Amino acid sequence: MKESTKMEESVGYPWKATKVEKTKILPLRWFANLCEKPASYHLDMVMYYDDRNNYGIAFKFHSKLSNIFYKPYFKWGTFYKLDIDKSEQS
């Protein structure tokens, strides 16, 4: 039983991470976390077009949608902050 609780605390990784929830309103947090999926897709598309030096309408379209979808995620979403000091001590 102690091994499972130890695994839950470390999340299976050698470093420690702290969960940061931007809001206590659960449906709003769910909505913000769902907005992260399409935002990351559009950000990937922006990087794809940027690698090929194609800065046309598709690049602008995906960059605008990525920006729109990331706004609620950054404002109300759930983040995991890496605690480097705690991982070095372990």
- pLDDT (tens digit, 9 = 90+) per residue, 21-68? 999 999 999 999 999 999 999 999 999 999 999 999 999 999 999 999
Mean pLDDT lowest among 13-17, 24-28, 81-85: 13-17
Q: How many domains does the chain have?
A: 1
- Is 22 part of a structural domain of the chain? no
Q: Is residue 8 part of a domain?
A: no
68 within domain boundaries? yes
In a domain, 86, yes or no: yes
Residue 73 included in any domain: yes
- Decide if pLDDT at 4 tops 50: no
pTM, to two decimals: 0.70
Contact 58, 49 (CB under 8 A): yes
The more confidently predicted of residues 84 and 65 is: 65
Domain that holds residue 43: 37-90
Domain membership of residue 32 (yes or no) is: no
Query: Residue-wise over 14-38: b if at least 16 C-beta within 10 A, else e?
Result: eebeeeeebeeeeeebeebeebbee
- The span from the CA of 89 to the CA of 16, in Å, is 10
Q: How far apart are CA 76 and CA 22, in angstroms?
A: 5
- Is 78 a member of any domain? yes
18 in any annotated domain? no
